[in-house]
Amino acid sequence: MVTVTLKKGEGRTLNNGGAWVFDNEIDKIDGDFTNGGLVKVEAFNGYFLGTGFINTNSKITIRIMSRRKDQVIDDAFIEQRVRDCVNYRKNIIDMSSCRLIFGEADFLPGIVVDKYSDILVVQSLALGIDRFKIKIIELLKRVLEEEGMHIRGVYERSDAKVRLKEGMELVKGFIGEPFDTKVQIVENGVRYYVDVENGQKTGFFLDQKMNRAAIKPLCKGAKVLDCFTHTGSFALNAGIAGARSVLGVDASELAIEEANENAKLNGLENIVKFQVADVFDLLPQLEQSGEKFDVVVLDPPAFTKSRDSLKKAIKGYKEINLRGMKLVKDGGYLVTCSCSHFLTPELFESTIALAAKDGKKRLRQLEYRTQAADHPILWAAEESYYLKFYIFQVCEEK
């Protein structure tokens, strides 16, 4: 097998439990290799660090599959990893709809598989794992069948631009027989249509499952504002919980159309209303008109996907949190999130604190949460820890 030797002083991420080797860590590559193939990684002194896929097109040049020196990466190895993924989720989450494989955090780097009822959606994001994509899907279907969960179709959403950094084309379409790509799921007692063909990412944001449930106790009899509602998930959880009125806002007309469909699906169309608007424009307008809400939810998309735009992102997070706080009645609740892993928990906390200071509000923290447990956080793989979720009581200065 080809041997990749790291520079002296490099390999700290691997030693700490991470799964990536970057191009600037590599000293030399001994042997002929094909991108996407397996290589052995050693420290400068010959100490074995792991076996992984190589791709010199990518800054993430090697993704580690195993740290055991004698491990063979074959079909049996892949099957065990797939079984481990399913067995883990059996014990910690409702599997009717969930993330089955979460890349590096499930020790299958570069691949994501989500389950929506009896449909699987796969994202293959790295060249090496792409070789095993069909095998992984076949194994998942078999293992799930053993657990009494029949899969009737698979759709591929390998259309994320990160594939271009791997030197790969964007791919989207059915794996196997076609089916209606508008899939109905139930989560926390709420029904949704999930568009696995055209929806964002793989069609739905499963990572907020438990966080959506966490707002329910706050919403009974409440007036609720849900910003960046997408297809209405937080808004509908508020409605199911007994809110007296809910307004969900998103800039996407398509998302709002789907949110309205979801409201009708749950018989909530008279309570949960949706509006197409830019949240940054709407929040000051609501403030000027004297509107107040018992609960304000801020669940924006990632304002930054790189460190280069972090300053601008912090400004955006501060702005929406300041505006959101001002719309909360004294003693009401602010629910606020960030899904960018570049905005660290410490940075997000300080940004919220600055917004509270400028708004002359005092915050009492009820909860701090991260992503649902089917999106496990692998320590030393910082990219797997991305979702920050707070619930605050907002109080006037006294």
SS3 state at 216: helix
53-88 pLDDT, tens digit per residue, is: 999 999 999 999 999 999 999 999 999 999 999 999
Which one from 85, 219, 227, 339 is the annotated catalytic residue? 339
pLDDT, mean over the chain? 95
CA dist 88 and 82 (Å) reads: 10
Of 259, 212, 220, the residue nearest 239 (C-alpha): 220
Kindly list the structural domains of the chain, giving each domain's residue range(s) and its CATH number in brackets, ordered by start: 3-66 (2.30.130.10), 75-180 (3.30.750.80), 205-396 (3.40.50.150)
Tokens of 266: 């749950």
d(CA 27, CA 9): 11
Catalytic residue check, 339: yes
d(CA 270, CA 286): 21
Task: Read off the pLDDT of residues 204-242 as tens digits, 9 standing for 90 and up.
Answer: 999 999 999 999 999 999 999 999 999 999 999 999 999
- State the pLDDT at residue 200: 87
Report the amino acid identity of residue 367: E
Any idea which residue has 């692998």 for tokens? 378
Q: In a 3-state reduction of DSSP, which class is residue 17?
A: coil
Residues of the chain by 3-state class (helix, strand, coil), percent to 5: 35, 30, 35
Mean pLDDT along residues 105-124: 97
CB of 247 within 8 A of CB of 271?
no
User: Residue 308 pLDDT more than 80?
Assistant: no
Of 14, 10, 9, which Cα lies nearest the Cα of 378? 14
Q: Give the residues across from 39 on adjacent strands.
A: 52
> Is 99 a residue whose pLDDT tops 70?
yes
Which of these, 214, 218, 212, 211, lies nearest to 232 by C-alpha position?
Answer: 212
pLDDT given for residue 381 in this prediction: 84
The pLDDT value given to residue 398: 65
Closest of 194, 195, 196, 187 to residue 216, by C-alpha: 187
Mean pLDDT of 313-333: 96
- C-alpha to C-alpha distance for 115 and 113, rounded to whole angstroms: 7
Cα–chain center distance at 378: 14
pTM: 0.94
Render pLDDT for 346-369 as a digit per residue (tens, 0 to 9). 999 999 999 999 999 999 999 999
Instruction: Say which amino acid occupies 233.
Output: S
**Rounded to whole angstroms, how far apart are CA atoms 201 and 205?**
8
The Cα 32–Cα 289 span in angstroms is: 68
Angle at 372 (CA atoms; ends 371, 373), nearest 5 degrees:
115
Mean pLDDT of 171-198: 96
Phi first, then psi, for residue 18 (nearest 5°) are: -75, 175
Has residue 307 got a pLDDT over 80? no
327, two tokens: 């719309």
| pLDDT for res 304 | 72
